[in-house]
Amino acid sequence: MRAFTCGVCGQLVFFENSACLRCGTKLGLRWRDRELVTKPEEPPCANRDAIGCNALADAPGALCFACSLTRTRPNAADGHGIAQWAEAERAKRRLIFELGELGLPIPTRQEQPEGGLAFDLLSSAVQPVTTGHADGVITLDLAESDDDQRERRRVQMGEPYRTLLGHLRHEIGHFYFPLLTVNEEALTAARRLFGDEREDYQAALDRHYADGPPAGWAREHVSAYATMHPSEDWAETFAHVLHLRDTLQTAAAYGVRVDGPTGRPDLHAEPVDAGAGGLRAMLDDWLGLTYALNAVNRSLGFDDLYPFVLSGPVIDKLAFVDGLIARS
């Protein structure tokens, strides 16, 4: 994420802000150039009052670009569902912002009625909901917005990391697979690294939940869930590229520099421009940064902020996906 400032008083402001906390000047997120605008002339998103969306719309009473991608949302009478929806939309705005920063196309249902991107944000308290992706539609169970529910599921699934933004990054990975592997060369290379995505998904799902991940899975997969099926390996890897890129962009925007502990010159990180160079070139900086952040988290009594180990084969997969994104 980039760093933003108020155009009136120069105060640091954040991506989610709708007003400067120092001088009170109105702010708005303008999607076409992904800028947090001071004293915007454009009207606010129609969802501003309902869920606190701070983005701008093209016309009075219209939804902003990110909110317009939501096809289904909780009923206005469902107070708890509306609060959950607000959290989901906040994460979705970050996702859409990063997709724009990376230069990825975002085909909408208006542009591409079959297969364009859309979101169904549904509450499992009202009906059964399975988080997933199908034909351009990303479905998210809004129960993931509740910390207690999400943590319970994280422990049950044995996952080191589980967030709303992580879910959305994973599911958007499924959406982008056919878009990024549209030519035969890219598809062949993807199948060589991840396996054949045409493999029987239900059989793989049954096997995974019956037997768990194979021994030594971390040598070739970024997560245990990635071992389930080639398409899940791709989606987990895609999500991880987005984690890396966003975190490094934020570190660069705030001038974060890690010199590393005394006697360990290999664990250092300079401020990195996450838009320059390939992913491999940034991993040395990533190592120093994440060692430091994990140590800070432990000092506060929390688990590691970055609970992953990147093996050589995993780095090959990350670099491959990152390269496809760069060429999109």
Most confident by average pLDDT, 135-149, 179-193, 264-278: 179-193
Predicted local distance difference test score (pLDDT) of residue 104? 97
Predicted local distance difference test score (pLDDT) of residue 214? 94
Residue 118, beta-bridge partner list: 137
Q: What is the mean pLDDT of the chain?
A: 90
**Region 174-188: what's the mean pLDDT?**
96
User: What would the two tokens of residue 314 be?
Assistant: 């995993």
- Produce one character per residue of 190-226: b if its CB has 16 or more CB atoms within 10 Å, e if not: beebbeebeeeeeebeeebeeeebeeeebebbbbbbb
Q: Model confidence at 113, in pLDDT bands (50, 70, 90)?
A: confident
Q: Model confidence at 136, in pLDDT bands (50, 70, 90)?
A: very high
Instruction: Quote the strand ranges of the chain, DSSP E.
Output: 4-5, 12-13, 27-30, 35-38, 70-72, 118-122, 132-134, 137-141
Model pLDDT for residues 237-281, shown as the tens digit of each residue: 999 999 999 998 999 899 888 887 776 766 677 766 666 568 888
User: What would the two tokens of residue 42 be?
Assistant: 């454009």
Distance of CA 48 to the CA centre of its chain: 22
Model pLDDT for residues 41-56, shown as the tens digit of each residue: 999 999 999 999 999 9
CB 303 within 8 A of CB 297: yes
Q: How far apart are CA 233 and CA 211, in angstroms?
A: 17
CA distances from 69 to 19, 126, 137, 245 (A): 24, 22, 10, 23
Predicted local distance difference test score (pLDDT) of residue 259? 80
Predicted local distance difference test score (pLDDT) of residue 276? 59
Predicted local distance difference test score (pLDDT) of residue 307? 85
**Region 208-218: what's the mean pLDDT?**
92
